[in-house]
Amino acid sequence: MEQDYDEEIAIHYHAFRPELHSLILADCLRNERFDKGLDIGSGTGQSSIALSAFCEQVIGIEPSAAMLNNAIAHPRVTYSGYDLVTIPLKNDEATIITFAGVLYYAKSQELLKEVSRVARSGAKVVIYDFEVLTAAILSSITNEQFLSVGTDYKHDVDLSGLDLTDFKLLQKQKEKTILGLNPEQLSHILLADSIQFHWLKQQFGKQDLHKKVMTALDTIAENNSIPVPADLYSTVYTYTG
């Protein structure tokens, strides 16, 4: 049952993610270019592909088999499994390392030690995330107040609290943007979030859930577009070891 759920979430991740990975990375990296990029927690590949615009080569590592099975092929991106212990790179190999929406779950001194092992001196470490603010939309299409409960997830998590002797903080920021999404795109975003997925399943039932959510979103769209606010978070370090 859990595997079926993971596959369904992965399908919605694969189908559509907003172009915010590229927007955040462009703001953090500007015109910089890198040799070997490492994307930790690559999911179905959107973050790795976004990173490839700045790199000659990217390896995306991901512990979820369901996500890897739905990973998007790209000529400069290679995907690999990750056992949450050892990063499958050689010493001093990565010139940029990114965490897109995963550090909250993975943060530890052990992970940072592995990052230090695979990072070349001077490598950038970019931790970033975004929150698509959908509570008002969910309440609107169901006539029930949506309350996101059951999680203490933090979008602005960084490396603070760890031993950062070999890391220098370069910048930390939060910005806002507005997305113009059509009902199909927004439905995939809603159903790729576990809390929202289960809440919408309670509201509409599991059968044809994606189609039912799309139909409900059609009622609030204007010219096939729905404005959706989003918060963007990023923190950039350089490895000095």
Q: What is the average per-residue pLDDT within 38-44?
A: 96
C-alpha span between 14 and 181 (Å, rounded): 16
Residue for token pair 């949450």: 84
Contact between residue 182 and residue 221 where contact means Cβ atoms under 8 Å apart: yes
* Interval 69-83: pLDDT, tens: 999 999 999 999 999
* Interval 96-120: pLDDT, tens: 999 999 999 999 999 999 999 999 9
DSSP state letters, 38-54: EEES-TTSHHHHHHHTT
Fold of 2-239: Rossmann fold (3.40.50)
Helices (H), 172-208: 183-191, 194-204
Comparing CA positions, the residue from 148, 229, 157 lying closest to residue 194 is: 148
pTM, full prediction: 0.87
Tally the C-alpha atoms within 13 A of residue 212's C-alpha that lie toward its C-beta: 14
Q: Is the pLDDT of residue 84 over 50?
A: yes
Contact between residue 155 and residue 233 where contact means Cβ atoms under 8 Å apart: yes
C-alpha span between 62 and 74 (Å, rounded): 16
Q: Is the pLDDT of residue 1 over 50?
A: no
Torsion of CA 143, 149, 150, 151, to 10 degrees: 120
Q: Is the pLDDT of residue 2 over 50?
A: no
Which of 11-15, 89-93, 141-145 comes out lowest in average pLDDT? 11-15
* Interval 133-169: pLDDT, tens: 999 999 999 988 887 665 688 999 999 999 999 999 9
Residue 29 binned pLDDT confidence (cut-offs 50, 70, 90): very high
Apex 80 CA angle, 55 and 70, nearest 5: 95
Q: Is the pLDDT of residue 5 over 60?
A: no
The winner for highest mean pLDDT among 142-156, 164-178, 188-202 is 164-178
Tally the C-alpha atoms within 13 A of residue 178's C-alpha that lie toward its C-beta: 4
Q: Is the pLDDT of residue 3 over 50?
A: no
Q: What is the average per-residue pLDDT within 209-213?
A: 95
Residue 59 binned pLDDT confidence (cut-offs 50, 70, 90): very high
C-alpha span between 185 and 174 (Å, rounded): 24
Comparing CA positions, the residue from 178, 174, 166, 168 lying closest to residue 241 is: 166
